[in-house]
Amino acid sequence: MPDPGSPLARLGVSIQHLLPQRALTALAHRISTARAGWIRRPLIAGFRRLYEVDLDEAVVPASGFDSFDSFFTRALKPDARPPASVGTGLLCPCDGTLSQAGPIFEEPSGGRIVQAKGRDYSLAELLADEKAAEAFTGGRFATVYLAPYDYHRVHVPCDATLRTEIRVPGRLFSVSDATSRHIDRLFARNERMVALFDTAHGPMAVVMVAAMLVAGIETVWDAGLRLRPGRDVARIDFDPTVRLSAGAELGRFHWGSTVIVVTGRDAPDWVDGLVPGRRMRLGEALTGPRAPGRAEN
């Protein structure tokens, strides 16, 4: 892989502007959901060799998947990701690599989130809801990138009540480290699903960001009926609300992408050591006591 800051990486990012993103994604979906053995078997076998996927922790054995997509969105055994003991704190919602984490910066134009060194974007634009964004004033965020070899289901960080789902149409740029360094407002430009929750700590948002070749975002409350948004932003306010327990499945990516967790001012602080590049595991503690003498954000 080229250095994310190299000229070669910048060239790769530039080419993405010219690619037929939706056509390529639609083709990937057709191939990944094909049930013919001559398609799915070599795809699964090749992927396992390339990424050394551990299927010992999967519920279904290697021979039990009826498509590459079912392999990619595989469920894990109940004991594969035991949750950390954080009391009423927050857990990491997925496997992946931490891209960024920290405070939501407040400016006259509203809250902003760091995307990469020298780049940030508007929280209101990410959520596609200015009023919802105001509720996170003084809060924090954590961005986790899911590589192709990661487990691709997303879980609830804490006991939460789903208040609103917002489906936002957009581009389908890659969400790799190189792309996040070179494309402004990447996560606020890509297609995404925004889930707004009420919790004991105040408001929480979990944003699932789509990318090139991601065939869709499925949520447990949609039962797979709406993988993609339409041409316009679509909002559903739930009445009655949907109650989800900490660690319960929230949704899944059909191919990989990025998850962003946003919390309000009254939520617990992030644990120390949440630095870019850190490998994360589903159920790992996101919140906890800070080291003695550490300054508050």
| Residue range 9-50, pLDDT digits in tens | 555 555 656 566 667 777 877 888 888 889 899 999 898 888
The verdict on residue 85 lying in a domain is no
- Say if residues 68 and 32 touch (Cβ distance below 8 Å): yes
Helices and strands (DSSP H and E) totals, the chain: 8, 14
DSSP secondary structure of 24-51: HHHHHHHHHT---HHHHHHHHHHHHHHH
**Do 154 and 44 share a domain, yes or no?**
no
- Specify whether 198 is catalytic: no
- Here the tokens at position 96 are 């992946």
Question: Which pLDDT score, from 0 to 100, does residue 23 have?
Answer: 77
What's the structural domain count of the chain? 2
Instruction: For residues 235 and 238, give the distance between their C-alpha atoms in angstroms, rounded to a whole number.
Output: 10
- Which residue among 32, 99, 129, 155 is the active-site one? 155
Phi, psi of 67 (to 5 degrees): -160, 165
The verdict on residue 241 lying in a domain is yes
**Do 173 and 42 share a domain, yes or no?**
no
pTM across the whole model: 0.89
**Do 101 and 208 share a domain, yes or no?**
yes
| Cα angle 86, 89, 93; round to 5 | 95
- Say if residues 98 and 280 touch (Cβ distance below 8 Å): yes
- Which residue among 69, 95, 150, 177 is the active-site one? 95
- Say if residues 266 and 202 touch (Cβ distance below 8 Å): yes
The verdict on residue 29 lying in a domain is yes
The verdict on residue 91 lying in a domain is no
What is the 3-state composition of the chain as percent helix, strand, coil, each rounded to the nearest 5?
A: 25, 30, 45
**Do 162 and 235 share a domain, yes or no?**
yes
The verdict on residue 109 lying in a domain is yes
Please count the CA atoms within 13 angstroms of the CA of 203 that sit on its side-chain side: 21
- Here the tokens at position 101 are 């984490």
**Do 158 and 276 share a domain, yes or no?**
yes
Distances (CA, A) of 241 to 37, 165, 252: 42, 11, 20
**Do 48 and 144 share a domain, yes or no?**
no
Please report, in tens digits, the pLDDT of each residue of the chain (297 residues total).
Answer: 455 555 655 555 556 565 666 677 778 778 888 888 898 999 998 988 888 888 889 999 888 899 988 998 999 998 899 888 767 689 999 999 999 999 998 875 569 999 987 889 999 999 999 999 999 989 999 999 998 889 999 999 999 999 999 999 988 887 878 778 878 999 999 999 999 999 999 999 999 998 876 768 899 998 655 666 778 899 999 998 899 999 999 999 887 789 999 999 999 999 999 999 999 999 999 997 544 333 343
Residue 209 pairs in a beta bridge with 192, 258
Instruction: For residues 203 and 208, give the distance between their C-alpha atoms in angstroms, rounded to a whole number.
Output: 17
**Do 105 and 240 share a domain, yes or no?**
yes
Query: What b-and-e string marks burial along 133-158, b requiring 16 or more CB atoms within 10 Å of the CB?
Result: bebbeebbbbbbbbeeebbbbbbbbb
Phi, psi of 23 (to 5 degrees): -65, -45
Identify the three-state secondary structure at position 249: strand
Distances (CA, A) of 63 to 16, 55, 71, 115, 276: 35, 11, 10, 40, 36
Question: Which pLDDT score, from 0 to 100, does residue 294 have?
Answer: 38
**Do 68 and 100 share a domain, yes or no?**
no
- Which residue among 67, 99, 180, 257 is the active-site one? 257
Q: The domain containing residue 139 runs over which residues? A: 96-280
- Specify whether 155 is catalytic: yes
**Do 62 and 104 share a domain, yes or no?**
no
**Do 268 and 136 share a domain, yes or no?**
yes
Angle between helices 37-51 and 21-32 (to 10 degrees): 110
**Do 47 and 141 share a domain, yes or no?**
no
Question: Which pLDDT score, from 0 to 100, does residue 61 have?
Answer: 86
The verdict on residue 87 lying in a domain is no
- Specify whether 201 is catalytic: no
pLDDT over 70, % of the chain: 85
**Do 122 and 175 share a domain, yes or no?**
yes
Instruction: For residues 209 and 102, give the distance between their C-alpha atoms in angstroms, rounded to a whole number.
Output: 19
